[in-house]
Amino acid sequence: MDAEAGGEEERPRDDEILAFHNQIRAADAEKLEFVGDKEPLSVLAAEYASGSPVFKAKVEKLGQTYVAIRRARGDGNCFFRSFMFSYLEHLLVTQDEVEVARVERSIEECKKTLIDLGHAEFTFEDFLVIFVEQLQSVIQGRETSISLETLIERCRDQYVSNYVVMFFRFVTSGEIRRRTDFFEPFILGMSGMNVVQFCRSAVEPMGEESDHVHITALSDALGVPVRVVYLDRSGDTDDKPAEVNHHDFIPVGSPQTTVDPFVVLLYRPGHYDILYTKQE
C-alpha cells in the first residue's frame, strides 16, 4: 500500500496540472492581449538593440518592406489568432465582398469535409457560426457592421477568439485528413506520427503550436494565401549582407503569378506576429 501511495504522490493530479496551466496562461494574459496594438517596426529594433548582429541587420532590412507589427500572445495559438485578425482586418479595410463570398464557399466545403470525416456537426457548428459572423460584420453598411476598434475588441475577447481558433483547428485537421496522401510524408518525417495521430495531438487541442503543415492546410482549405517572414539566425556565418527570407503559402489552384498574400506574419522561432507592409 505504501508503494502505491508513493506512486500516486509523484504524479500531480489532472486538475492540479490544469490549474497550473491556467495559472501560466493567466500570467501571460496580463502581459499581452490575444492580439496587441499596432506598433511601429522600430519596437523590433529596440528589442534587438543589444542582440546579435545578424538579428539587427535583419530587422533593419525588414524596415525596407514593412512598417508595423502587431504582436500576438504566445500561448500556442498565435498563428491562428494572427491569421484571424490579419485576415479580418484586411477585409474590413478593403471591403472586399467578393473575397467574403469566396471564403464562405470554402467554408461550406470545409463543413462537408468535416462531416465526411465523421465529425458530428454540433461539435464544430458553433465555432463555424462565430467565424462567419465576424466575416459578415466587417463589411460595412449593415446593421451588424463593426468598426476596426470593435474588431480589435472581439479578437481580444476570449469567447470569440477561442471559438474562431477552434474553427481554424477543425478546418486544418479536416484538410490534413482529407489529403492524407499529400500530408502524410511530411508529418511522418517530422513527427513520426500518422495523420490521424498528428491531428489528434498536434492540431485539434488548443495551445498546440503551428508549423508549415498547419499553415499549408489552413491556407489551402480556406483559399487564403499567407506570407511568413522569417526572423531567425540563418545566414549567421556569412559575411554577405543579411537576407530576410520569406515563404508564400499559395493555396492549391491559385494562379501563382497574380497572388500577393495580404496576410503577412513574422515568424521568430516558436512564435508568429502580424506584419504590415509599406503602402507604395
Q: Which residues are catalytic?
A: 75, 78, 246, 271
Shortest approach of another protein to residue 9 CB, angstroms?
10
Closest CA to 245 of 119, 2, 62, 104: 62
What are the φ/ψ torsions at residue 249 (nearest 5 degrees)?
-90, 105
Which of helix, strand or coil describes residue 279? coil
The CB density around residue 140, as the number of other CB atoms within 10 Å, is: 11
How far is residue 48 from each of residues 52, 153, 232, measured CA to CA in Å?
A: 7, 29, 12
User: Cα angle at 168 between 197 and 154, to 5 degrees?
Assistant: 145
The minimum distance between CB 22 and another protein, in angstroms, equals 8
Cβ atoms 140, 52 nearer than 8 A: no
Strand partners, 54: none
DSSP for 217-228 reads: HHHHHHT--EEE
Least distance in Å: CB of 170 to another protein? 6
88 vs 93: CA distance, rounded Å: 9
Please report, as ranges, the residues that interact with another protein according to CB under 8 A.
3-8, 11, 13-15, 17-18, 21, 119-120, 122-124, 126-127, 162, 166, 169-170, 173, 200-201, 204-207
| DSSP-derived secondary structure letter, 202 | I
Amino acid type, 71: R
Give whichever of 7 and 185 is closer to another protein, judged by the CB atom.
Answer: 7
Task: Supply the minimum distance, in Å, between the C-beta of residue 166 and another protein.
Answer: 5
Q: Residue 66 or residue 170: which is nearer to another protein going by CB?
A: 170
**At closest approach, how far in Å is the CB of 273 from another protein?**
24
Measure the CA–CA gap between 167 and 144, rounded to whole angstroms.
21
By beta-carbon proximity to another protein, the closer residue of 203 and 275 is: 203
Q: Residue 107 or 274: which CB sits closer to another protein?
A: 107
Spacing of C-alpha 81 from chain mean position: 5
Q: Please report how close the Cβ of residue 274 comes to another protein at its closest, in angstroms.
A: 24
Total count of residues recorded for the chain: 280
Q: Which three cell numbers stand for residue 116?
A: 465526411
By beta-carbon proximity to another protein, the closer residue of 11 and 31 is 11
Beta-strand runs (E) in 82-176: none
Of 86 and 210, CB closest to another protein: 210
